[in-house]
């Protein structure tokens, strides 16, 4: 039986225990396999027990140690009880990978309150509940490492405003916790994947998939990332090699965040008003003002006069 082809040494995490939320599918599943291949005892968490059972079977068949923890991370009391029990059962909790998340493509004007709350609750609040409970029940006294998996939201997230807001908040939370918990020996970092070839792509409708496909070739890397490339970044941040790295977000996106392409088509005609109050401004051809009413510039300047 082939084993995970990690770039890290096989016994790197021998004797360590890791909790991976969203560990039943996609990137979380890949991280579970790599950590287990490196000697770590892995606990995969998620709301649906079926995918977790499959991952546990895969990892154990490959010779690793893995168990399932069905859990809704939106429920703070359930999270606290589950992590307390995990620490009691394993005697430690060295690593937490906050990978669980979810979102849906929608124009910001159409997102309903229930959908907004669900995405914020999972991506932001769930990350917070798990991190705080892990700190309370083990890391506060023993140290550890937390890695939050977020997203490429650096230039906004049109088409997914809810997840953009939540992921940006987790980036900031990562920095705050890194500062506050450094004295406890806890490092907190994040990984921000770009477009990744993952089972999560199946959650989007065909029209959004077509947009993804058109954007991929415009990425400087001209391809998607792989789950293993995200996992490698997570593993490094958990390792002793990153002992002096905390409060940092590693972008794993093929430089895509430096050449951002938006998911939604931009307006072909500007409806933003123009202001030019400078009475000696150089005469600029109207075509450089876009398709907005060129008369607005003159009107705005006139209205600014006493």
**Residues 53 and 143 placed together within one structural domain of the fold:** yes
**Residues 100 and 232 placed together within one structural domain of the fold:** yes
For the chain, the maximum distance between any two Cα atoms, rounded to a whole number of angstroms, is: 82
**Residues 278 and 213 placed together within one structural domain of the fold:** no
Supply 252's token pair. Answer: 């794993």
Q: What are phi and psi of 89, to 5 degrees?
A: -75, -40
**Residues 219 and 291 placed together within one structural domain of the fold:** no
Helix, strand, coil percentages for the chain (3-state, nearest 5): 45, 15, 40
Written as one string, the DSSP assignment of 212-243 is HHHHHTTSTT-S-EEHHHHHHHHHHHHSGGGT
Q: Please report whether residue 140 resides in a domain.
A: yes
Q: What are phi and psi of 239, to 5 degrees?
A: -80, 165
**Residues 199 and 303 placed together within one structural domain of the fold:** no
**Residues 211 and 72 placed together within one structural domain of the fold:** yes
Cα separation of 245 and 175, whole Å?
11
Q: Please report whether residue 8 resides in a domain.
A: no
**Residues 156 and 22 placed together within one structural domain of the fold:** yes
Nearest residue to 27 via CA among 173, 193, 187? 193
Q: What is the CATH number of the domain that holds 182?
A: 3.40.50.720
Cα separation of 69 and 49, whole Å?
8
Quick one: DSSP state of residue 166? H
**Residues 179 and 245 placed together within one structural domain of the fold:** yes
Q: Please report whether residue 9 resides in a domain.
A: no
Nearest residue to 34 via CA among 121, 97, 91? 97
What are 13-35's pLDDT values in tens digits? 999 999 999 999 999 999 999 99
Q: Is the pLDDT of residue 54 over 90?
A: yes
Comparing 39-43, 167-171, 250-254, 295-299, the range with the smallest average pLDDT is 295-299
**Residues 179 and 296 placed together within one structural domain of the fold:** no
Neighbour tally for 76: CB within 10 Å: 15
**Residues 245 and 287 placed together within one structural domain of the fold:** no
Nearest residue to 165 via CA among 177, 150, 178, 148? 150
**Residues 115 and 41 placed together within one structural domain of the fold:** yes
Q: Is the pLDDT of residue 250 over 80?
A: yes
Query: For residue 303, what are the domain limits?
Result: 267-306
What are 179-236's pLDDT values in tens digits? 999 999 999 999 999 988 766 655 666 766 666 666 666 678 888 889 999 999 999 9
Length reported for the chain: 306
What are 73-108's pLDDT values in tens digits? 999 999 999 999 999 999 999 999 999 998 888 889
Comparing 122-131, 198-207, 244-253, 283-292, the range with the smallest average pLDDT is 283-292
What's the total number of domains in the chain? 2
Written as one string, the DSSP assignment of 38-66 is TT-EEEEEES-HHHHHHHHHHHHHTT-EE
Model's pTM, two decimal places?
0.86
**Spacing of C-alpha 6 from chain mean position:** 22
Quick one: DSSP state of residue 201? G
Average pLDDT, the chain: 87
Nearest residue to 119 via CA among 98, 103, 107? 103
Q: What are phi and psi of 146, to 5 degrees?
A: -125, 135
Supply 23's token pair. Answer: 């560990």
Cα separation of 283 and 40, whole Å?
67
**Residues 81 and 121 placed together within one structural domain of the fold:** yes
């Amino acid at each position: 039986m082939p084993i995970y082809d990690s770039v890290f040494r096989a016994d790197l995490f021998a004797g360590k225990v890791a909790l991976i939320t969203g560990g039943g599918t996609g990137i979380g599943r890949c991280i579970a396999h790599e950590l287990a291949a490196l000697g770590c005892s892995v606990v995969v968490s998620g709301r649906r027990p079926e995918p977790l059972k499959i991952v546990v079977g895969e990892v154990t068949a490959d010779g690793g140690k893995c168990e399932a923890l069905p859990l809704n991370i939106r429920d703070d009391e359930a999270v606290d009880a589950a992590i307390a029990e995990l620490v009691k059962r394993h005697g430690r909790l060295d690593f937490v990978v906050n990978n669980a998340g979810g979102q849906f493509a929608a124009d910001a004007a159409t997102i309903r309150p229930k959908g907004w709350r669900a995405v914020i609750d999972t991506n932001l609040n769930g990350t917070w509940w798990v991190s705080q409970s892990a700190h309370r029940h083990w890391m506060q006294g023993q140290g550890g490492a937390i890695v939050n998996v977020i997203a490429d939201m650096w230039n906004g997230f049109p088409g997914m405003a809810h997840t953009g807001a939540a992921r940006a908040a987790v980036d900031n939370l990562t920095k705050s916790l890194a500062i506050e918990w450094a004295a406890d020996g806890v490092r907190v970092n994040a990984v921000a994947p770009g477009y990744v070839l993952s089972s999560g792509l199946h959650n989007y409708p065909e029209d959004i998939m077509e947009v993804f496909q058109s954007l991929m070739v415009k990425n400087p890397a001209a391809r998607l990332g792989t789950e293993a490339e995200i996992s490698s970044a997570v593993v490094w941040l958990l390792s002793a090699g990153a002992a002096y790295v905390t409060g940092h977000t590693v972008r794993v996106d093929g430089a895509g965040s430096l050449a951002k392409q938006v998911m939604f088509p931009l307006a072909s005609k500007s409806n933003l008003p123009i202001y030019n109050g400078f009475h000696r401004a150089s005469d600029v051809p109207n075509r450089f003002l876009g398709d907005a009413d060129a008369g607005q510039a003159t009107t705005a300047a006139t209205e600014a006069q006493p």
